[in-house]
Every structure is written in C-alpha cells, then in structure tokens.
Amino acid sequence: MEKLVVIGAGMASGRALEHIFEEAPGRFDITLFGAEPRGNYNRLMLSPVLAGEKEYEQIITHDSAWYEANGVHTRFGETVTAIDRQRKIVISRNGETSYDKLIIATGSAPFIIPLPGKDLPGVMAFRDLDDVNAMVAAARRPNAKAVIIGGGLLGLEAAAALRLRGMEVVVLHLTGHVMDRQLDPAAGYLLQRELESRGIKVHCKAQTKAILGQNAVEAVALDDGTVYGADIVIMAAGIRPETRIAVDAGLHVERGIVVNDQMVTSDPDIFALGECVEHEKIVYGLVAPLYDQAKVLAKTLAKNDAAFRPVQTATQLKVTGVSVYSAGDFADAEDREEIVLRDATSGIYKRLVLKDDRVIGAVLYGETGDGPWFFDMIRKGTDTREMRDTLIFGQAYQGGAALDPMAAVAALPDDAEICGCNGVCKGAITGAILSKGLTDLDGVRAHSKASASCGSCTHLVEKLMAITLGDSYNPAAVKPMCPCTEHDHGTVRRLIVAKGLKSIPAVMQELEWKTSCGCAKCRPALNYYLVADWPGEYEDDNQSRFINERVHANIQKDGTYSVVPRMWGGMTNPRELRAIADVADKFAIPAVKVTGGQRIDLLGVKKEDLPGVWADLNAAGMVSGAAYAKGLRTVKTCVGSDWCRFGTQDSTGLGIRIEKFMWGAWTPAKLKLAVSGCPRNCAEATCKDIGVICVDSGYDIHFAGAAGLDIKPTELLGHANSEDEALEIITALTQMYREQGHYLERIYKWARRVGVDTIKAAIIEDLDKRRHYAERFAYSQQFAQVDPWEERVNGKDAHEFAAMAEFGLPVAAE
C-alpha cells in the first residue's frame, strides 16, 4: 500500500478523505496530522457553538469510530514542523514519518494586526474550538466587555454570539460600513442598524492605535482618541493562508501554495487543498470551493481525470434572526445595470447587478430566500430578458402573468389599510379625493392624513390618486430632488427628521432610493441636511462634498485654487497684511485681489501648496474665510459711528460680533450679511441675504435680498433695540432657514416659498419660537466652529494634498 500523509485535520482534508475512500478504496495507508488536539469538525458551526446554540459534540464531522473503520492513523495535537522532500518524510514532535504521497491542508491562520499590546493575555482570534472556549470563559465574568477588531463575517458572528452571552460588545471596523467585502453600503447600513438594536456598538472608520493594559487587556485605543474598555479583544481582521512549512520545503508559494487544476503543487508527489492554496491567483476563504477541490484531489490520487476550475462564491451571515446574502460581483460599471428594491417598512433591500441581461451579482438583506435562485442564475449565466420586470421579486413571481402593481392596488378592497401610521383605509382616501376635489399629494395628506406621518405609503397613495383621478392626476407636480429618488427636497427633509435618519445610507434605504450610492446632486444635499439636523451626531461625509468644500479653497479654471482668509467685518491690520504678502511671495502666488466681499483673495495657489499657505496664515491668526462654502461667507460693514460723521451705531463692531458668532455655520446655500451704520447704506446691506441698517433707535433687520443672478431689495423683518436682540433675531432667522431651506436655495427663494409673513410670525412675533431657534443655532455652532485650515495643517485629509505616486522620466537602460 502507498503511504499517504495528510497535514491538517480541517474541513477540506476531512472531505478529501471521504472521497479518497470512495475513489480508491484500500489503496492508501493514511496518516492524518492535526495541530488541534481533536479530529475534523465543522468549523463553520463554531459560531453557533459560541452563541450557545449548539454543543461541540454536534459539530464533529468525523469521530474516532470513523477513523478506525477506515484505518486512518490519527496524530492529533501533533504539528508537522518540516517536510523533507528529498527523503520524502515529514517531521513532527514524535519524529519522522515517511510518505509516498503528501497532502497539505493546513488552512489559514488568523491575521494578527501588529498593534502595540497584541501579545497581552486576553487578545484572541476566532479560528478554532480553543478560541471559542476562551471566549465563553471570558463571557462568564460579570459585566465582561469584548472589543472585536474587524466587522467582517467572522467578527460580526462573534459579536452577535458574545452579545447573546451577555457581554458588552464593541465592533471596530476600518471602512465605512460592515462586511464591506460582501455588502454594499445600503445593506451594510441595515445590518449595522440590526446589530445596534441588539445592543452591539458598531464603530466604523475605526483606526485602532493600540491595545492597552498592564498584565492583561484593559482597553483599546483608536486614532481618533476613543478608548473602549475591554476584557477580551478579538482579532477578526482577516486570515492568511498557512503556508510556512510549504515555503520552508521550497514549494512554489505565492499568496498560497500554488496548485494546478489537479491540485498538484510544484512537487508532483505533494498535493494541497483548502484555504492554504492558491489556484489561478485565487485564494478561497469559504468552504464550497474547497469541497470541489476535495473531489478533484481524490480523483487525481485515483488517477482519474478531473479538473478544478475557479468558482463563484456566495456568502451568508450565520446570525440568528439576520438574513444577509451576497453573491458574485456587485460593483457598478457602465456596462452594467442595477435593479434595486427597497421596502423600508419591513427592512428589505435587494440589489441585482446585470450585465448583458444576465445577473452577475446579488446583495440581499432582510429577505434572502431567493439567494440560491439568483446565485444559480449567476453561475449559469441565465438570460433574464423574459422575466426582467419581475426578476427582483424572486422566483415565486416567475412563470405566471407579470404582476401589474397598478392592478394590484386597484384590486384592493375599500377597507384595506393603506396608511399604517394613521390607520387610513383605501375607501377613506378615494372618498376624500372625490368629495374634496383633491388633485395633489399635499391635499390628500391634509384631508385624509394618509401618508402624512412617515410617508412610507406614499407610493400607494399616489397609485390610488392615479386610479381615482385618471389623467387629471399629474404626479410630476412633485419635483424629485434628482433621478435617484421620487421625493422632492421638502419631503426628504421632513422624513429625515420624522424618522430620525442619521446617515446617508439610512436616508437612501428608508426613503427607497433607486440607486445604491446616489449621485453628485443628491449626495451633497443629503449631507447638508444631516449636518444641519443632527449637530454633534452626524459625521460629515467629505466624499459627498463638492471639491471646494472638501479642500476648503475655490477651484479655478486651471485646476489651481484661490484662498481667502477671514477679515472679520472687513477689518484688517498690518500684521495680517504682511502675512498675506509674505505668503504670496513664499509660494509665488500669481494674483492678489481685493474681493467684492471686503477681503483679500490669493489666486492661483497650487493644490499641494494649500497646507503650507494655510499654516502661514494660521500663524498670523487668520482662519478660512469659507469663500467656497454653502455656509456663512462675509459680513460686510462700513466704518460706522467709530469714524463716520453720520454713523448712528458701531456697525463695524456689530458686524465683527455677528461674524465671530456665526462663522463655520453650514446653510442651504451661501449666506452673506452686511451691517451699515446709517440708511446711506455704504455696506450695501439692503441687497444681502440678511442686512442690518443701524438707526438712532437701534437696528432695522432686513432679509431676503439678492444681487447676483437676480436683483432684489431686501424685506424688512423687524426692529431690534440692542445688539443682543439683533443677534438673536439674526441667528434665529438663520436657523429657521437652515432647518427649512432646500439645498442650494438662497434665503430670498426660501422666503418666497414659505412666505415672508410666516417667517415674521416665527421670528418677530413669537418670542419663544425665536429663542428656541436661536438656541438651536448656538448649540450647533459648538460643533461647527473648527477652522478647517488648522485641522488640515495638522494632518487631516493629508491624502488630498499629495500625489499618490510620482514617476520620473524612464531612465534609459544601462
């Protein structure tokens, strides 16, 4: 009998042995080495074991009776430390074992991030039963805390399991959403929300800095300064093929041990399979392909023809009560189309990616029953043209007549409930439409209350209107924000607040966006709405901002930038002027101009020079003038009572005070103010977004002027008796505009839309309302008044200002 030695008693080798006994019974004398002190078991099921849903005994795949019956010599708890290919032996603790044929099935090893403190007791991986036992023991301690580094499949299964065992769990994840390798941001958002509802803290974009502790783990520190207490830290940041003995033996190893289609390594007597191998540059991390490899390897050993070919894989998360499915390639590209179905009420998200009418990728959340059906189509390359309209609804909708959503609504009985929030049935809605002669959605909302709360039944209400009104219903009266959504700006703003939506993926999911990642129109708008509505909570998404707001300078037609420092109220001094002159010299800035906003513009700055320019301006006490921002720009002033013979009040001082209080605020569109010391109005206050005209008795506050694309004088809002009162009125007005304005809607357009009287009623007549608006403004300023230049001088977004790589002219070969 030929001697066959197998290194590694894992999932792949277990399956291979079964096939070998089928293909070549009695042909080999087999010795099975395993580093773990136990035989083959179902590693996948470690998650349910950790969760307490299964016992170890239930996941054993091969027991001692099986090894005995098949004559396998088991050497468990014995690591193979070397292979001597010349002498055809393997070396382990108990000496040498010779082979005719050798199988390497060493799987992979968890990747331990080289962090300070990684060797402290309490830092563990999640790979084998010993790890599970250690975690279970730690979870028994009262108030035990776990920090999991890595929000991938393994990390999340560990998180859910440890939470079930009562631990306080924090998941740290490097990128913007969990399971980013398998899920798109929309599904990642839903998953995160589900985990959070179970009491798991998920911290995305987390850069772990160090694991802290004296004699054992005590905490984990992040780059952003956050520190999480921890009794155990689980490294679930990835795996590396376990190839050490193969490398030492001189086999061809790249990322994994290189094998051909027959699972033969660079040595014809040595075979390999499982996570330790690389086939056609692919290393697998899921079992399905490994089972195919096991089949092929057995045939090769039995001298039968077989070939392993690259396969697609599908992933499912094994957390009880969570359904996530992902398969194939779900990235965007021009030659691809996507079909997205979102059902916000039941938390469902489905996305299919098609190319040439064939499904090539699928991400399913909430309802994954059709996953295998889609996966099958991916593998077979099924032509989907015939079922295109109903494809996303799944297998159950195929074959019969295509389901017409309009007909479905028409067929509903009159007592069918349409609006769950307000308990409005179909009959009540159609009744209101007919009896009140309603023709638009707002009217239906006002009279029937349907779709007036969360809005998630809006599409049903709209269909009812179409059915009831026929051609006279014009849904186009709603002007969608952009082609990614049916909703207009107002609806989106309202629902963000009503539903407590606090991230862009949350908005896109709950409001049923039609694209997975939005566009250049909706993303900046959503980012502003979230910044304005959730101060201190929402983390600004830089990548959703236009370049000017991302790099805090104005892009010019030649790709250079202009830099405008603040000059509070238009005042400056020799020190600032000298610093500006010096910086212009030092960085060879080609143009220096006085702007129409009473300050100085440095034009033609190279992008890579921006941090240097800012550092010098900062050093002279200047901050960004936000000349690029949909936010507070300038507060122009005149010389006022300080110097002017007509000046009634300190217009310069008030302007500076306003600018110092309001700088940094983001607004729907740019916001420009001015304060003039008398009605001669030298600061041009009566064509500004907000303007103050000082008079003997105090301050007249004007607003809603325009002097750009449109020219329009301001309206008088009201009168203030003191600077304090003027400031309260101005900030309250600004806050009302911040909360109600549509993105890119200047204050005069907003006022036209909501009515000057409505604004006067809230800001001038209702003192309580005014105070509340002003308080909300002041609160949000706490988070807004950070000089973006200083942050970047100190290293924030450094990637923006440096090339990724530089290549010189190729040097001629010598």
Partner 1 sequence: MTDWIDIGAINAIPQRGARCVNTPNGKIAIFRTADDQVFAMDNRCPHKGGPLSEGIVHGASVTCPLHNWVFDLSTGTAQGADEGQVRTYPVQVMDGRILIAPDVLMEVAAE
Ligand X SMILES: Cc1cc2nc3c(=O)[nH]c(=O)nc-3n(C[C@H](O)[C@H](O)[C@H](O)COP(=O)(O)OP(=O)(O)OC[C@H]3O[C@@H](n4cnc5c(N)ncnc54)[C@H](O)[C@@H]3O)c2cc1C
Q: Which residues bind ligand X (CB under 6 A)?
A: 7-13, 33-36, 43-44, 46-47, 79-80, 105-107, 126-127, 154, 242, 245, 274-275, 285-288, 290, 318
- C-alpha 479/C-alpha 317 separation (Å) is 39
Our measurement of the distance from residue 420's CA atom to the centroid of its chain's CA atoms, rounded to an integer in Å, reads 30
**Residue 804 contacts which entry, partner 1, ligand X, ligand SRM, none (Cβ below 5-8 A, type-dependent):** partner 1
Q: Decide: 701 and 744 in contact? Cβ < 8 Å.
A: no
Give binding residues for siroheme as ranges. Answer: 682
Q: Which residue, 262, 247, 261, is CA-closest to 106?
A: 247
Q: Does 708 bind ligand SRM (CB under 6 A)?
A: yes
**Residue 334 contacts which entry, ligand X, ligand SRM, partner 1, none (Cβ below 5-8 A, type-dependent):** partner 1
628-647 residues near ligand SRM, rule: CB under 6 A? 633-634
Which CB sits closer to partner 1, 229 or 238?
238
- Piece of the chain touching partner 1 by CB under 8 A; list 490-498, 512-520, 638-646, 760-768: 512-520
Q: Decide: 362 and 378 in contact? Cβ < 8 Å.
A: yes
Q: Does 751 bind ligand SRM (CB under 6 A)?
A: no
**What amino acid is encoded at 40 in this protein?**
N
| Shortest distance in whole angstroms from residue 204 CB to partner 1 | 11
Kindly tell me which residue out of 554, 637, 648, 651 binds ligand SRM, with binding defined by CB under 6 A.
554
**Residue 786 contacts which entry, ligand SRM, partner 1, ligand X, none (Cβ below 5-8 A, type-dependent):** none
Q: Is 3 in a helix, a strand, or coil?
A: strand
* CB-facing half-sphere around the CA of 565: CA atoms within 13 A: 26
Tokens of 565: 């420092």
**Residue 672 contacts which entry, ligand X, ligand SRM, partner 1, none (Cβ below 5-8 A, type-dependent):** ligand SRM
**Residue 351 contacts which entry, ligand SRM, ligand X, partner 1, none (Cβ below 5-8 A, type-dependent):** none
Q: Does 667 bind ligand SRM (CB under 6 A)?
A: no
DSSP state, residue 813 = P
Which CB sits closer to partner 1, 232 or 553?
553
Q: Rounded to whole angstroms, what are the CA distances from 82 to 90, 224, 288, 384, 434?
A: 6, 44, 29, 53, 85
Q: Does 808 bind partner 1 (CB under 8 A)?
A: yes
DSSP H helical ranges for 663-766: 723-740, 747-754, 756-760
Which CB sits closer to partner 1, 412 or 519?
519
Q: Is 191 in a helix, a strand, or coil?
A: helix
Kindly tell me which residue out of 91, 344, 519, 571 binds partner 1, with binding defined by CB under 8 A.
519
Draw the binding track, 524-563, toward partner 1 (x: CB under 8 A; -: no contact): x-----------------xxxxxx--xx---x-xxx----
Q: Does 627 bind ligand SRM (CB under 6 A)?
A: yes
Kindly tell me which residue out of 265, 451, 516, 731 binds partner 1, with binding defined by CB under 8 A.
516
Kindly tell me which residue out of 804, 812, 813, 814 binds partner 1, with binding defined by CB under 8 A.
804
333-352 residues near partner 1, rule: CB under 8 A? 333-336
Residue nearest to ligand SRM (CB): 708
Q: Does 706 bind ligand SRM (CB under 6 A)?
A: yes
Q: Is 496 in a helix, a strand, or coil?
A: helix
Q: String of b and e for 107-125 (b: at least 16 CB within 10 Å)?
A: bbbbebeebebeebebbbb
208-267 residues near partner 1, rule: CB under 8 A? 255
Tokens of 688: 């500004």
DSSP state, residue 762 = I
**Residue 564 contacts which entry, ligand X, ligand SRM, partner 1, none (Cβ below 5-8 A, type-dependent):** ligand SRM
Which CB sits closer to ligand SRM, 11 or 730?
730
**Residue 634 contacts which entry, ligand SRM, ligand X, partner 1, none (Cβ below 5-8 A, type-dependent):** ligand SRM
Kindly tell me which residue out of 145, 552, 746, 760 binds ligand SRM, with binding defined by CB under 6 A.
746
Tokens of 199: 């009491």
Q: Which residue, 407, 389, 511, 513, is CA-closest to 464?
A: 407
Tokens of 60: 């054993």
- Piece of the chain touching ligand SRM by CB under 6 A; list 134-142, 182-190, 238-246, 702-710: 702-710
C-beta atoms surrounding 428 within 10 Å: 20
Q: Residue 439: is it exposed, middle or buried by C-beta count within 10 angstroms (0-12/13-18/19+)?
A: middle
Residue nearest to ligand X (CB): 10
Q: Does 562 bind ligand SRM (CB under 6 A)?
A: yes
| Shortest distance in whole angstroms from residue 810 CB to partner 1 | 6
List phi, psi (to 5°) of 687: -130, 20
| Shortest distance in whole angstroms from residue 411 CB to ligand X | 42
How many residues of this chain bind ligand SRM (CB under 6 A)? 20
What torsion do the CA atoms of 642, 646, 647, 648 make, to the nearest 10 degrees?
130
**Residue 107 contacts which entry, ligand SRM, partner 1, ligand X, none (Cβ below 5-8 A, type-dependent):** ligand X
Q: Does 747 bind ligand SRM (CB under 6 A)?
A: no
Q: Is 420 in a helix, a strand, or coil?
A: coil
Length of the chain: 814
- Piece of the chain touching partner 1 by CB under 8 A; list 118-126, 331-339, 410-418, 757-765: 331-339
Which CB sits closer to ligand SRM, 689 or 728?
689
Q: Decide: 257 and 277 in contact? Cβ < 8 Å.
A: yes
Q: Which residue, 209, 266, 349, 239, is CA-closest to 83?
A: 266
Kindly tell me which residue out of 157, 168, 194, 601 binds ligand SRM, with binding defined by CB under 6 A.
601
Helix pair angle (11-23, 287-301), 10° resolution? 30
- C-alpha 88/C-alpha 110 separation (Å) is 29
Q: Does 175 bind partner 1 (CB under 8 A)?
A: yes
564-593 residues near ligand SRM, rule: CB under 6 A? 564, 593
- C-alpha 252/C-alpha 697 separation (Å) is 89
Q: Does 595 bind ligand SRM (CB under 6 A)?
A: yes
**Residue 180 contacts which entry, partner 1, ligand SRM, ligand X, none (Cβ below 5-8 A, type-dependent):** partner 1
**Residue 711 contacts which entry, ligand SRM, ligand X, partner 1, none (Cβ below 5-8 A, type-dependent):** none
The set of residues, in sequence order, having a beta carbon less than 8 Å from that of 511 and lying 6+ positions away, is 344, 455, 485, 487, 492, 495, 501
Q: Decide: 540 and 531 in contact? Cβ < 8 Å.
A: yes
How many residues of this chain bind partner 1 (CB under 8 A)? 44
Q: Decide: 627 and 638 in contact? Cβ < 8 Å.
A: no
Q: Does 110 bind partner 1 (CB under 8 A)?
A: no
Q: Which residue, 376, 378, 400, is CA-closest to 387?
A: 400
Which CB sits closer to ligand SRM, 656 or 762?
656
DSSP state, residue 677 = S
| Shortest distance in whole angstroms from residue 104 CB to ligand X | 8
- For the chain, the farthest-separated pair of C-alpha atoms sits apart, in whole angstroms, at 114
Tokens of 515: 């694209």
Our measurement of the distance from residue 461's CA atom to the centroid of its chain's CA atoms, rounded to an integer in Å, reads 32
Which CB sits closer to ligand X, 297 or 563?
297
Kindly tell me which residue out of 26, 142, 795, 810 binds partner 1, with binding defined by CB under 8 A.
810
The set of residues, in sequence order, having a beta carbon less than 8 Å from that of 25 and lying 6+ positions away, is none
Q: Does 350 bind ligand SRM (CB under 6 A)?
A: no
* CB-facing half-sphere around the CA of 397: CA atoms within 13 A: 15
* CB-facing half-sphere around the CA of 207: CA atoms within 13 A: 4
Give binding residues for [4Fe-4S] cluster as ranges. Answer: 638, 644, 678, 682
**Residue 46 contacts which entry, ligand X, ligand SRM, partner 1, none (Cβ below 5-8 A, type-dependent):** ligand X
Residues that bind ligand SRM (CB under 6 A): 554, 556, 562, 564, 593, 595-597, 599, 601, 627, 633-634, 672, 706-710, 746
Q: Provide the binding-site residues for partner 1, judged by CB under 8 A.
A: 174-176, 180-181, 184-185, 255, 330-336, 515-520, 523-524, 542-547, 550-551, 555, 557-559, 799, 803-810
